[in-house]
Each structure stands twice: as C-alpha cells, then as structure tokens.
Structure 1
C-alpha cells in the first residue's frame, strides 16, 4: 500500500468535535437524546404547523396527523403476536413515511394514493415495486425519491434480497444460508471529519478493520462514485484508511456550508446507518443497492404485513421454515429503528437513545 497521505487531525468547531452525520445538520448541531421520540416528533410538528402558513401549514398538520396514527399502530403492535404484529407494524411505519413526505412538501390527501408495493400474483416471497404512477401518488415512490434513491422502473424483488440490503438483517440472512456463497455485502466503517494541521482545509477519512476484508468483497470499495472520491488505501494499526482526494477550503464563514456539502457527497456512497445504545454505527454496502436501506426496510415490512392479510398458506410455510427467523427478526428490530431514523429525518436532527435508558 502507498505511504500515508496527510491524515490531519479531528475537526473541531466551537471546541466540540465535529462528527459525520447521515442527515443534513449543522456541523456543531447537538444530538437529541430522547427515550420517547413520539413526544419529540409531535412537539416539533405542532410547532412547525403553528409557525407556518398556507400549504406549508397544511403539510405539517397532515404530518402530525399521520404521526399520531403511526404511534397508535405501534402501540397496538406491541401487544400483538405474529402474524398480526407484522401488519400493525407495517401500517405504523407507513404512516411515519406519510408524515415524512408531507414534511418534505408532498401534498397527500389531494389525489388517490397507492402503497406503491404489491404482492405479485402467482409468486411467493416477492414484492412488486411500482414506478411512478400515471395518476395518483405512490407512497413508496415518494419515499424512495426523498431518500435520494428514486425508482427507475417497475420491478420485482425477493423479500430475502430486500433483507440482505438492510444492515439489521443481513447477518442473520447470511448465517441461515440465504446469501449462498456470496460474501457479506456490508462492512462496518468509521467516517471521520478531519482538518489539516493549520485548520484551513476540511476532508474525511473512511476506515474499516483490516480483519473485515476476508468476509466482504472489499475489491468493490473503490467502485462507482467512490472511485474518484477517495485515495488508495493506507493500512495502520489494524485499520485501513481511505482519505478523500479533495480537501475543502475552510473559513469561519463557510464552515457549515462546506460540512453540509460533504454530507451530500456521501449520500451516493451506499452508506447505511444503524442506531445502537452508543449512537449510530455506519456500514458500507459494497453491492451498491438500488434503494436506500430504509426503503428496503419498508419493503420487508410491507411483505410481512400484507402476506399476513392475504396469503395464509404462504404465512404457514414461513412459520414452519427457516424464513421464520428472518421474519421475527425484522418485526422485532425494524419498527423501532425506523421510528428513530424517520424522526431524525423529519426534524433534521440526529435522535439517539439516552445512555440512561434501561
């Protein structure tokens, strides 16, 4: 490997360390620690509605209505068992999505709405993804578009393929043999925001553990948009580092603008986020999925919720087979992750679990 380029030092603004974020925030924006994201979400949406006028006020008011529906479905799901739990959880997540796209200015309620997803006739364990409809609004299309990964065509995806693109589920899919001989596509990464020693230039470091190379298709790390963005790897102390090629000129006036531009650039690198008790962890999808990982979460939960309503025979097959483990894992993990992630996207502030929560 090449000799190490200048790796700089951790970036700091107003004496606080600047961290990488997967949503657009100010460089020195503090995280919101909340054990009850519902209360924070409702308070935010009410305040925004009261401070807005016209169409914007309608959108925020609708968003709060959908958020209330979502909370009710979540509460109902917490006391339900399989397969009903999957249906209630999906509708909770669907209404969170409707709240999110409403905040982004998508006017729902004004025309016919479709899930944008369906179970293909005559095929099991698959979901059809509708492209933009000629009339009405597709909730999935609007959601995927707002996440930066719009649908480009009508397609069909296996539910296991969707789960393999969700960081919470990809490990169990591999352990149960659903990925065949493929190596794991997700590699855990750290993304550090750095400055030059004189604090005049801003850049980033993407790194991973050297030991993770064996279980992933690491040759793909410099594929696609990442190829022209990062320098060749440098190995130090058991980690491999890729520094961004370009450094951004810093001044006291442009700090937040430069930082936000870097966050936008990372949106095209197939970085997935996973909330843990110690904050968000990041994973790089080396297979460069078609959709954002939250869109795949909605696909997986649509399947869990819809197959329970319309295909009892298919549910029976799942409950007696190895796919049951993936279904139960999805229903146990995805709704709570989705709640924190969507709350962060809606409020444009990173929401995390407090250390004090037991």
Structure 2
C-alpha cells in the first residue's frame, strides 16, 4: 500500500478565538459578508416556525403556509400522544406532509400546494418486506408532486421521471434504531459516526476546506476498509485519506481531507462556508440532542446493490412514514401484523422515537439554522 499523502498546509478555522463549529448552515448572509450564526434553542420549534412563516411577503402564500403549519402541529400532537397507537403513523405522515409544504412554500418558487399529490405511492402491497414505493416527477399530469418537490428543495433537483424504492432498502437508512434493524436482519452496521467535522483554512492561499475525522477502530470493528468507507458513503472523489497523528483516549483517528478547497474573497472565509458544506451535506446523516454538541454526524455505507434506493436522510424518513401511514389508513389489520413480524421492534421504535428528530431536522431546514432543545428546562 503506498504511503498516505501529507495533509494540506493550514490551520483550523476560528471565529473570535474559538474553533468554528460545523453546521449545515454555519453562516447567515448579511449585506456585505456572511456572519457565523449560533444555534437556536427552543423547547418546541413551532413558535419560531410561525415567526418565519409570518414573514412571507405574498399574502395568499403566507396564509397557506400558516394553515399548513397549524395542521402540522395538531397532527404532531396526535401522533405523539402517549395513548395513541393504531393511528400514530397516519397522524405523523400528515404532520410531515404539512411541514413539507411549509418548507417548500418558504424555500421554493412554488406559490401554492393546493391540489398537490403525495408524489409517492405503494406499487406492491404483498408482505411488508416486499413493498415497493414509486415516486413521481413534479409536475406529473399537471399536478405538483410533494415528494419530488421536497427532494428538489433539499438537493437542488427533483426526480426526472418515476423511480422505484424498495422498502427493505429504505429501512436501514433510518439512523435512530439502526442496530435493531441489524439484529432483525443479521446484517453489519452501516452507520459510521464522525469523531468530528472541522473547517480548515490556508490564510495565504485564502481557501477553506473540510476535514472529516473517524475513529479507526469503528471501521475495523465493522470490517470496513478505508477505501470502502469512502466509496460506500458517497464521499469518494470529494475526499482523500491523509496522514493523521490525532488520537482520542488512546483511539487512533483517521482524517479524510476535502480534495478541492474553496477560495474566499479578501479576508472573509465565512463567505465560502455555505458553498463548502453544500458539496457534502447530502452524504451526511445527523441526530439532534439536547446536550452538547447538540448534533452528531454520520456516514451511511450503502451496498452497491442498494444505491438506486439511497435517499437523503429526511426523505427516507418521509418515505417510510408514508408507507406506514398508507397501511394504517387502508389496511389497519396489516399494521398489527407488521408490529408482530421480525421488523416489529424496528417499526415501533421508528414511530415513537423518530418524530422529534424529524421535527427538529426539518425545522432547521426551514429556518436554515440549527435548532435544538435546551438542556435546561
């Protein structure tokens, strides 16, 4: 094996003497230059979302987004009520669908989602394991398709035609409860946590880049090579492994350095951070917590045979919730069978533990700023 290249000359980016924290939205654009923005702390994000919706300039668009937000909150309350079980997936799906509309009304040029379609449907309804979901381009038959619209706002492009997703390929993409799926299927874990993600800069060249740090023993524990990590995570070509002498509590750390740095004008590296993050964020998964560091980031290692069903994190949650909501609505007796089957514990964990994660993750997308619960209440 050839020796690893040396890392690029530089230093960790700092803001006011402190390391600049990684975020999907590290900065906020002001008149002249971008400014590092802090996290928002809220016991619930609804009030902050209401404030954001109220700032929509078009009156009819604002009224629609406001109504969708109110419905989302009501469905969330039903879907997370302690004594609600049989109807929980359906209530959560309609919560997520209304939040999706708020997101798209705020962050796209769409003026209305009146008469919009789900944009996703069950193709086969045999066993839970054999279910295929089909998503449609938007518009389709002159109707807006919610699923593709959300994909477009999240990633910059929607579907260019109909696309099938196997439910068994979507299940392992859900981060919380992933190990329950591993036990049910006797599969290796596919999520690798990052020890940290850091912004680095070279002041003389006026450029910034990302370094991704992973514990070496996490890869060896799962029998993953370093090259497999890059190729199956979607990071190959964008990152390379470089020499790293870091360790944490005796655990060796591997560094993957961004291949192509991003230049910035004058003395304002913050101006380049959003562009820098945009190139990697859809290959990352995140969890939200109420204790520091408030976000943890992961890579998802996708087998080659399942690449066609790989989705951004929020869309995989949305797709699975749609399917469970459809079963609950049209074939409620089958939902009981699902809970009794080999994926029962996985689904139970998903419908009870995922709602708050989805709410805070999508709220952060809507606000374009990290929002999380405070650790002191």
Structure 2 alignment gaps of length 5 or more:
29-34
Q: Is the 8 Å Cα contact of residues 203 and 247 (structure 1) preserved in structure 2? A: yes
Structure 1 alignment gaps of length 5 or more:
none
CA RMSD of aligned residues (A): 2.5
How big is the shift at 1:10? Answer: 2.4
Of 354, 357, 360 in structure 2, the residue corresponding to residue 340 of structure 1 is: 360
- TM-score computed with the length of structure 1 as normaliser: 0.87
Give the secondary-structure state (helix, strand or coil) at the position aligned to 1:343.
helix
CA distance in 2, matches of 1:231, 1:322: 39
- TM-score computed with the length of structure 2 as normaliser: 0.83
Of 296, 302, 320 in structure 1, the residue corresponding to residue 322 of structure 2 is: 302
How big is the shift at 1:254? Answer: 4.1
Corresponding residue for residue 31 of structure 2: none
Answer yes or no: is 1:99 the counterpart of 2:102.
yes
How big is the shift at 1:124? Answer: 2.8
Q: Is the 8 Å Cα contact of residues 185 and 216 (structure 1) preserved in structure 2? A: no
Give the secondary-structure state (helix, strand or coil) at the position aligned to 2:36.
coil
CA distance in 2, matches of 1:276, 1:291: 23
Answer yes or no: is 1:208 the counterpart of 2:211.
no
* Mean Cα deviation higher: 85-94 or 117-126: 117-126
Answer yes or no: is 1:45 the counterpart of 2:60.
no
Task: Map Cα deviations across residues 277-299 of structure 1 (whole Å, 9 max, x no partner).
Answer: 23111111221663211000011
CA distance in 1, matches of 2:25, 2:65: 19
CA distance in 1, matches of 2:206, 2:260: 13
How big is the shift at 1:127? Answer: 4.2
Corresponding residue for residue 255 of structure 1: 269
May I ask how many residue pairs the two structures share in their alignment? 346
Give the secondary-structure state (helix, strand or coil) at the position aligned to 2:369.
coil
Corresponding residue for residue 31 of structure 1: 39
How big is the shift at 1:272? Answer: 1.2
Answer yes or no: is 1:130 the counterpart of 2:135.
yes
Q: Is the 8 Å Cα contact of residues 26 and 37 (structure 2) preserved in structure 1? A: no
CA distance in 2, matches of 1:216, 1:102: 44
Of 82, 107, 112 in structure 2, the residue corresponding to residue 108 of structure 1 is: 112
Give the secondary-structure state (helix, strand or coil) at the position aligned to 2:230.
coil
How big is the shift at 1:90? Answer: 1.3
